[in-house]
Amino acid sequence: MSASSMAIPRTEEPRIEILVNVSTGETRAAHLENGVLQEIHVQRDATGSVVGNIYLGKVQRVLAGMQAAFVDIGLQRAAFLQISDMVRRPAETQDVAPRIQNRLSQGDRVLVQVSKDAMSTKGARLTTDLAIPSRFLVYMPYNPRIGVSARIENEAERDRLSSAVAGIREELGLEGGFIVRTVGDGAPHHALAADMRFLATVWKDILTQSRIVAPETLLYGDLALPIRMLRDMLTPDVAAITIDDEDAWREMVAFTQRFAPEFTDRALHYTKPVPLFSQYGVEEAIERALQPKVPLRSGGFLIIEQTEAMVTVDVNTGGYVGTRSLEQTVLRTNVEAANTVARQLRLRNLGGIIVIDFIDMVDADHKQQVLAALRDALDADPAKTTVGDISPLGLVEITRKRTRESLQQLMCSACEACNGRGFIKTGETVCFALFREMSRLTRARAAEELLILAAPDIIGLLLDELSGAFNAVCTETGLSVRLQAEQLYTPEQFDLVVM
């Protein structure tokens, strides 16, 4: 195979399926292309995403130095609003930067929308540039612009949609702007008009409620996950949306009959005894997506590490040695890694700064092939991404817009045994720390008898491999020691009790 043919082509028209699993307290939606999991969405009753929700907030504090404000919208932590996320007023010009202290004061009521969920120790991110989605359109009451999704590439269709939306807006006497969503490709005039009337009604209700309710009140919430999947993803390219709950399926059918009758037969009810996600291998794919190691078909592998500051991806050849030359082996592994990384970023919902450490390449043409494969694979990602060039050290920096928690943050918590480090101390390390604590204790206070509480494995070490050292410490300190194994103790945990 020649170097120029190394890029792994993507299927032009993949078979797209959406699977929705409904269980007590949690709903999950899986996006599959040709049977391979691409994205997973999770909505939990207690901790669901609030992105898109519109609240009447109350300003807690204005930070002039940061040009931001903390706004209470009724969540666990105060949300964060920056001046750059506020709609410009008519009197403000591009030459004069607005100041938040001139716009907001402590105690002010402000209409805001969540643009990013709370993550880690950070509160939710807010905007006053509100956007209300429908099936085909997004209504922006404070922004006069009319736009069309960049994924609608046919220029004639783009012109038709822009003209239609502008004309309907004028007929209805609406203010604000609209963006035609990807699913609006081919939408008839009457469907666009119906969407615009619906959005105008929703906005009118929000404004009315904002004048009479108390601050920290939710004025508009997004749809339930199954209906949101229909609204956002049901296009002619989607073969089916399958759900395993009869009530939710009936709601989906009713939605499609009202807003997309041509797709009603694509909302399917799953009734087989085998769980839906297990039937399609989604459960296993989710488990793999929580592991740092990702195998490549060539025999290489990726190591993906997520930290507070960034995500790092290390590419390794593993057991793959190729059949022609080292350069070709490296190129093939890096190209496959580029395609796999793009899918993993989307599947794991990793955002912020991502640094990929590709295997070193000498040939400049090989570097460009890998970069082209990466950019091409990221084109399918609905999240906004920016890809830098390959550095002399073989590193590529990517930024990916982050609006919600990653899969790991959503489904996992810090390990209590290792305090989130990702590893724990060896039994020997714990025992030697215990010895030092015994010596410190006898110096600090008079003690003759001691009870040691520790995990069973640690007690086993004290009685077996490290019994000699343990007896020496007991002799040195003059302590009479009793050992007690505690099943609930973590491997690093122990207590010394003076009797």
pLDDT higher than threshold 50 for residue 403: yes
What predicted TM-score, i.e. pTM, was given to this entire model?
A: 0.77
How high is the pLDDT of residue 60? 94
Asked if residues 42 and 27 have their Cβ atoms less than 8 Å apart, the reply is yes
How high is the pLDDT of residue 93? 59
How high is the pLDDT of residue 323? 57
Structure-token pair, residue 277 = 């996600």
Query: Is the model more confident about 493 or about 11?
Result: 493
Q: Residue holding tokens 């009197």?
A: 91
| Cβ contacts of 145 within 8 Å, gap of 6 or more | 177, 179
Mean pLDDT of 448-471: 90
How high is the pLDDT of residue 477? 85
> DSSP code of 121?
T
CA 96 to chain centroid: 36
| Cβ contacts of 353 within 8 Å, gap of 6 or more | 309, 310, 311, 397, 398, 399
How high is the pLDDT of residue 43? 87
pLDDT > 90: percent of the chain: 56
Mean pLDDT of 135-163: 93
For residue 44, give the 3-state DSSP assignment.
Answer: strand
CA distance 457 to 470: 15
How high is the pLDDT of residue 46? 58
Mean pLDDT of 160-189: 93
How high is the pLDDT of residue 446? 74
Q: Residue 179 forms beta bridges with which residues? A: 138, 147
How high is the pLDDT of residue 401? 86
Closest C-alpha to 38, from 260, 237, 215, 249: 237
Phi, psi of 369 (to 5 degrees): -65, -40
Closest C-alpha to 257, from 165, 135, 137: 135
pLDDT higher than threshold 60 for residue 6: no
CA distance 337 to 359: 10
How high is the pLDDT of residue 442? 81
DSSP per position, 309-352: S-EEEEEE-TT---SS-HHHHHHHHHHHHHHHHHHHHHHHT--E
Give the model confidence (pLDDT) of 70-109 as tens digits: 999 998 889 999 999 998 876 665 656 788 999 999 999 9
Give the model confidence (pLDDT) of 354-370 as tens digits: 999 999 888 899 999 99
pLDDT higher than threshold 50 for residue 5: no
How high is the pLDDT of residue 92? 62
Burial state string for 40-61 with b = 16 or more CB within 10 A and e = fewer than 16: bbbbeeeebbbebbbbbbbbee
CA 20 to chain centroid: 18
Query: Is the model more confident about 400 or about 96?
Result: 400
CA distance 257 to 269: 15
Q: How confident is the model at residue 1 (pLDDT cuts 50, 70, 90)?
A: very low
Calculate the average pLDDT of the chain. Answer: 88
Structure-token pair, residue 237 = 């390219």
74-78, 286-290, 405-409, 469-473: lowest mean pLDDT where?
405-409
Distances (CA, A) of 152 to 13, 79, 158: 16, 34, 7
Query: Is the model more confident about 11 or about 253?
Result: 253
Q: How confident is the model at residue 320 (pLDDT cuts 50, 70, 90)?
A: low
How high is the pLDDT of residue 414? 77
